[in-house]
Every structure is written in structure tokens, then in C-alpha cells.
Amino acid sequence: MSRSPRLQSPDEWEGVVLKAAEDYRSGMGLIDQLGASGLLDPAMVGMLIAIRRGLFEETNASSARELVLIDMAVVAYANAMRLQAMIGNTALIIESEMFGQPTLRAKWKNEYGGRPEDIQGLAVEEHVARLRDQLLPLVERAHRTVRESIEAIGHMRQVPSMRVERAEAVNIVLLAPGSSG
């Protein structure tokens, strides 16, 4: 990469590597990879970063394997939430078509001037089919991926929290019942 036409020198390449490492540590590199980072909902970005930090702290992750596994869990969760939003939006469209004020729209063979005998079905049928055939199976797979990622994180080495390791030693004295101390 140091010979890339976009980089002018080996020092510039080293700067790119250092910036990428900082972005990775902060979580912004992960957010950039989710796509349209400038358009993502700030609350969702904050939640994903908080989940990532929480998993790092909870597991004391330090190896590259553990860090990548946590990022994969966060990405799977983000994708599951995106799919869930699509399902919610599709459900709103279906509810609007079925129960909204205007009558159900019919799909006409000809967009303009079609006759009632040219009706091919109701537009809501397409939304229901998309929900059933495309979105729900994707959500089921996304949820399974999140579950598997969380389970894998749970199986990571179980070490005491850094807070516990750094805490001061405490002396505990046990007395038999009835004895005075």
C-alpha cells in the first residue's frame, strides 16, 4: 500500500495505519463500515458503541480474535435492527393499505385508464409477500447470527474484571457461631 498512487510517501502510509488503529479502538472504524455513516441515526451509533464498549469491558477482551468477535456481534446486531426497521415500515404500509382512510389500491394492468376487470390484485399483497418471503427469513437469520456471536463471546476466556484485579486486598475473618470476636 505504501506504493499506492493515493499515498505520497511511506510516512503517509504509516499515518493511515495509525489513524485506522485509532478509529478501530474508538469504534468509529466499525461505524464507517456499516455504511452511510454520516446518515446513521446518532442514537443508534451511540447505542452500538456503548454495546461494543460494554462487551469489551465485560469480557476483558484483549486479543485480536476477541476484538473481532465482538465487532462481528455488534455488526450482526446492527443488521438485525435494520431488518427490524424494514419490517416495521412494511407493517405500517400494510396497515395503511388495509385500515387507512382511502380504499385499497388495486394494481391495474394498465397504469392509467384500466378497467376493473383488469385488476391483477391488491397492492398490499406485494407488501405481505415481501414481508413473508424476504424480510422475516432475513430477520430469523440475523437473530441467529447475533445469538451465536453472543454465545461465542460468552465462551471467551473468563478472567476477573480489571476492577477486581486492581482492587485492594480485603481481610475476611470468619467466626464460629456463638464465639465472640
Q: What is the tens place of the pLDDT at every residue in 36-62?
A: 667 778 898 899 999 999 999 988 888
Output the pTM of the full model: 0.61
Q: Residue 90 in contact with residue 131, Cβ under 8 Å?
A: yes
Q: Which residues pair with 119 in a beta bridge?
A: 108
147: left (phi over 0), alpha (psi -120 to 50) or beta: alpha
pLDDT > 90? residue 28: no
5 domain-assigned = no
Residue 72, classified by CB atoms within 10 Å of its CB into exposed (0-12), middle (13-18) or buried (19+), is middle
Which domain, by its residues, includes 153?
A: 34-166
Domain count, the chain: 1
21 domain-assigned = no
153 domain-assigned = yes
Q: C-alpha angle with apex 168: 166 to 170, nearest 5 degrees?
A: 135
Q: What is the tens place of the pLDDT at every residue in 117-136?
A: 555 666 778 878 888 888 88
Q: What is the tens place of the pLDDT at every residue in 136-168?
A: 888 888 888 888 888 888 877 655 555 556 667
177 domain-assigned = no
104 SS3 class:
coil
What integer best gives the mean pLDDT of the chain?
78
Higher pLDDT, 98 or 21: 21
Q: CA-CA distance, 172 to 181, in Å (whole number)? A: 13
2 domain-assigned = no
Please report, rounded to a whole number, the percentage of residues in the chain having pLDDT higher than 70.
75
